Chain A
């Protein structure tokens, strides 16, 4: 085909492309505003650093001319004193103190003490006053940290979310081992998701197989058992597990009655309980893709293998099983991805050591009001999830995302 013709063909297809696109445009625009922008807001909160700029504007200006080599001179201290006088009246000194405290333990109380001190003082010079009050003000590191946070952005939260830290002079190092909990948390989240994925595949594979070989009427009933839970509220199912797993609950009744254990077991607020409830909730998501692949495998193949003399097991294992792999991968990946973001179930059924990243995000927002760290953990979780979603799209394709 000549180039001119190709161009003409493309041009003639343009109106149809436009018409098709315009049908999708409202939904895309809607998602861009109500879904993508919130994610961008999360990303920007993870690096936002407004406290020092807001509360100490004069200090920010004064520090812009500071060379960073030695403790600054009187003009910077005077600017800080002027800012802190206002902050003391406006009760905002705690805000900036809390922010600097993240990077330099103890800064909150020192900042508040300094604010009270300058509020009581009439005039300067302020430098001797500060140095007299606390040695920290004579420490280059303090000023390096303050200067670093005069910028509107920070890497502090993102670094903390992966157990890293920045030294006062700016080098990026491993975080304090005492506070390095987040990589472990990520590993725990991945591990629980992996357990749930394995659990659903082990329980789900035979079910999918049975549905695919059963006569239509039986298959329909079995499918009903799989689809009904899918339609049921996650919260309702989690509630049921709370009741089932309670120490004086039904499962413990059965365990004691059948003599499996003399004492009642701690099932709720445990890893076992969390994984069981999550496997229950995720099972349909794993079964359906496996079943839809199995349905497409002709039954005649097994018969052919058997008639050629293959024993039952090797006919299944060498002819049938390899063909189910796309379904197992699709179902397993969906469950793994969805498990990464679990919040409700670990919160209600899990103990302290079963809480996943989502639960920590919620805690940092609701209890500590530390939006920066919550957002940074969100960024880590989002990155991991999207990476696996990307793998899913490459291996399986978006067409396989189907429910019901």
Chain B
């Protein structure tokens, strides 16, 4: 497979071994999904595979429980607000950074990306200390501000990647024909980079929707998000309802992934 015609017998064996190894690693990468999803549909309360009898009882548990639903709602609200804020700020920053005249670009880029790098517990403790002084601890706006900082780099990186293929002559043409800068942006640039902006927005949504540690530190029971509810549950004891919650999260990730992949292909 995928070998030149002059390959020797030993080479074919070697290639076969590499391929088997690669397939094993790829299976390892997706294996957990084949554990979480079937178990969430199991009728039994303990984790045995293969599942003998299927049922939706854990989903009944999930969707019928006020705590899980409240957590799901909190997560969606925080993630939507984060997405809007991060997309606007991040797209603007990426547009600026894409210009050749941006001063100290490397430094600014390194700072913009640092929320991806700084250990999350440090961000959580620092946010608790600082937001506490501002009265933002145990509030939704506090959570949204912290999540926006964490998702910003993902928007900047994604939009910047799309902008690198954008032909700036289009902007110049628009401006030279007398259109105001804002309408050039809205009617020329934005439609051209829309796939990148939407991918960035979805990334921001995913970052906020999955974030556990900062939410754990700076929110109380009232703003508790879905991942925090899951985390506390796993710490006590993993029960099948957590598997149902994990499957809900998983379904959402796959949806976001499919949409961004589709957008990525369209952009090309």
Contacts and interface: CB of A to CB of B under 8 A. Distances in A.
Q: Do A and B bind each other?
A: yes
Interface of A: 13, 16-17, 19-28, 30-31, 34-35, 37-42, 45, 203-204, 206-207, 209-210, 213-215, 222, 224-229, 231-244, 246, 248-250, 253, 280, 283-284, 303, 306, 312, 337-338, 340-341, 343-344, 347-348, 357-358, 361-362, 365, 371, 374-375, 378, 381-382, 385-386, 389, 393, 397-399, 401-404
Interface string B49-60: 100000000000
Contacts of A17: 101-103
A17 B210 CA distance: 37
8 contacts: A20-B102, A35-B149, A39-B118, A227-B257, A235-B230, A237-B32, A239-B242, A401-B113
Interface residues of B, number: 99
A207 B26 contact: yes
Contacts of B95: 23
Interface in B229-261: 230-231, 234-235, 238, 242-243, 246, 249-250, 253-254, 256-257, 260-261
B120 A23 contact: no
A250 B32 CA distance: 11
B33 interface: yes
A343 B212 CA distance: 10
Given A235-B230, A236-B250, A348-B231, 18 more contacts: A23-B92, A23-B96, A35-B123, A38-B123, A38-B129, A38-B130, A213-B2, A228-B257, A248-B47, A306-B6, A312-B8, A347-B235, A378-B121, A398-B109, A403-B154, A403-B157, A404-B199, A404-B203
Which of A24, A45, A283 is packed against the most chain B CB atoms within 10 Å? Answer: A24
A341 B129 contact: no
Nearest to A362: B121
Nearest to B209: A233
A27 B212 CA distance: 23
A303 B119 contact: no
Contacts of A21: 96, 102-103
A26 B112 CA distance: 12
B221 interface: no
Nearest to B252: A233
Given A242-B234, A244-B35, A398 B110 contact: yes
A239 B2 contact: no
A23 to B, nearest CB: 3
Nearest to A42: B126
Interface stretch (B17-25, B66-74, B169-177): B17-25
Contacts of A34: 127, 145-146, 148-149
B125 A375 contact: yes
A46 B129 CA distance: 11
Contacts of A241: 32
Nearest to A26: B89
Contacts of A243: 35-36, 39, 47, 238, 243
A386 B118 CA distance: 8
A254 B121 CA distance: 36
Given A20-B99, A28-B108, A228-B257, A235 B227 contact: yes
A45 B129 contact: yes
B96 to A, nearest CB: 3
B168 interface: no
Nearest to B150: A35
A149 B61 CA distance: 55
A305 to B, nearest CB: 12
A284 B257 CA distance: 14
Contacts of B197: none
Contacts of A30: 89, 148-149, 152
Nearest to B92: A23
A213 B116 CA distance: 31
Contacts of A235: 210, 212, 227, 230-231, 246, 249
A112 to B, nearest CB: 28
Given A28-B93, A401-B116, A239 B36 contact: yes
B106 A233 contact: no
Contacts of A26: 89, 92-93
A41 B22 contact: no
